[in-house]
Amino acid sequence: MSQAYSDRGNKDRSVANPKGQGSVIPKGTGKSHASLGGPFLIGESMTGGYGNGPDILHDCTIAVEKGEIAVIVGPNGAGKSTAMKAVFGMLNVRSGHVKLDGEDITGLSPQARVAKGMGFVPQTSNIFTSMTVEENLEMGAFIRRDDFRDTMAQVYDLFPILKDKRNQPAGELSGGQRQQVAVGRALMTQPKVLMLDEPTAGVSPIVMDELFDRIIEVARTGIPILMVEQNARQALEIADKGYVLVQGANAYTGTGKELLANPEVRKSFLGG
Ligand SMILES: Nc1ncnc2c1ncn2[C@@H]1O[C@H](COP(=O)(O)OP(=O)(O)OP(=O)(O)O)[C@@H](O)[C@H]1O
Ligand SMILES: [Mg+2]
């Protein structure tokens, strides 16, 4: 494991867990966290589903604090992607709120949320495969009217392979490289917060480690990261805060370290 991981889970700050207890989700208080210096981005007590279908999320809360990495784990079909979509405005929540930097954005469209500073990399179809790498990055900058070349240079610094392959159709890249394109595209809007749904899906353990290193690097530039991860153990190791979702609800919440140490979480979700 690389150096960058080493102390991430030890950053158990009082702000993330004020009472030093395992679960820090205030259930159904309905009060604003942000006004109390709470999370930078929070989907709070979200209940809702797709169209007229049944509710998928049940009073579900996910959040990320400034300067932190928050990780959402849980079994397939638990509603992790649905929770991310709800926070990004792709799902009509029947109840609950989404707040960004203290502002209630529950009613905003996804595009308006991007304009507010949210970057989102969905789990699937997150790049334009027939376009070149560079065109993908340019598409990412669609809301910008200013010169985005500096940002593109930063993305190429972060992911040097993308610079080498900038004129190649993105569909010709490997899985890990495509994920870099997807993250790079999201960074092009200069987001204030980045949401990643399974950024390491389908990549080898080595590539996963590399992607996690890059994600930590992005977090260090001051962009809080809210991500869903299939590789639960590894992800919780780099997480300041972790959420275990089961059947659309919060099952366990704590620092990454706490969840890794929790016997029930270990047994049920981390393979012992
Ligand atoms: N577009 C959709 N329309 C209707 N139901 C959906 C839709 N997308 C997901 N669902 C349902 O919502 C539930 C949660 O799915 P979701 O994709 O959020 O799970 P997940 O935790 O992200 O799973 P995975 O680990 O496989 O990505 C599932 O029962 C799924 O069938
Ligand atoms: Mg998913």
* The two three-digit tokens of residue 175, written as one number: 């899985």
Would you say residue 14 has pLDDT above 80?
no
Pocket test for ligand 1, best of 73, 80, 196, 200 (most atoms within 8 A of CB): 80
What mean pLDDT, rounded, does the chain reach? 88
- Ligand number nearest CA of 74 is 1
Q: For residue 2, what pLDDT band results from cuts at 50, 70 and 90?
A: very low
Would you say residue 13 has pLDDT above 70?
no
pLDDT digits (tens, 9 = 90+) for 75-106: 999 999 999 999 999 998 999 999 999 999 99
pLDDT digits (tens, 9 = 90+) for 204-225: 999 999 999 999 999 999 999 9
* Phi, psi dihedral angles at 149 (to 5 degrees): -65, -35
Q: For residue 33, what pLDDT band results from cuts at 50, 70 and 90?
A: very low
What per-residue confidence (pLDDT) applies to 37? 67
CA dihedral for 74, 175, 221, 150, sign (positive or negative): negative
Q: Which of 212, 237, 195 is nearest to 62 (CA)?
A: 195
In the sheet that 118-121 helps form, which strands lie side by side, from edge to edge? 118-121, 193-197, 225-228, 69-73, 241-246, 249-254
Pocket test for ligand 1, best of 72, 82, 228, 245 (most atoms within 8 A of CB): 82
Task: Give the range among 11-15, 54-58, 86-90, 103-107 with minimum mean pLDDT.
Answer: 11-15
Which CATH number is associated with domain 3-108+232-269?
Answer: 3.40.50.300
What per-residue confidence (pLDDT) applies to 202? 87
Residues with CB under 6 A from ligand 1: 50, 53, 56, 74, 76-82, 123
What per-residue confidence (pLDDT) applies to 142? 86
Residue ranges of the domains in the chain?
Answer: 3-108+232-269
Distance, first Cα to last Cα, the chain: 20
> Radius of gyration of the chain from Cα atoms?
18
Query: From ligand 2's centre to the CA of 84, what distance in Å?
Result: 9
Mean pLDDT of 235-256: 97
pLDDT digits (tens, 9 = 90+) for 148-193: 999 999 999 999 999 999 999 999 999 999 999 999 999 999 999 9
What per-residue confidence (pLDDT) applies to 15? 36
Strand-pairing partners, residue 46, are 60
Bigger pLDDT: 32 vs 95: 95
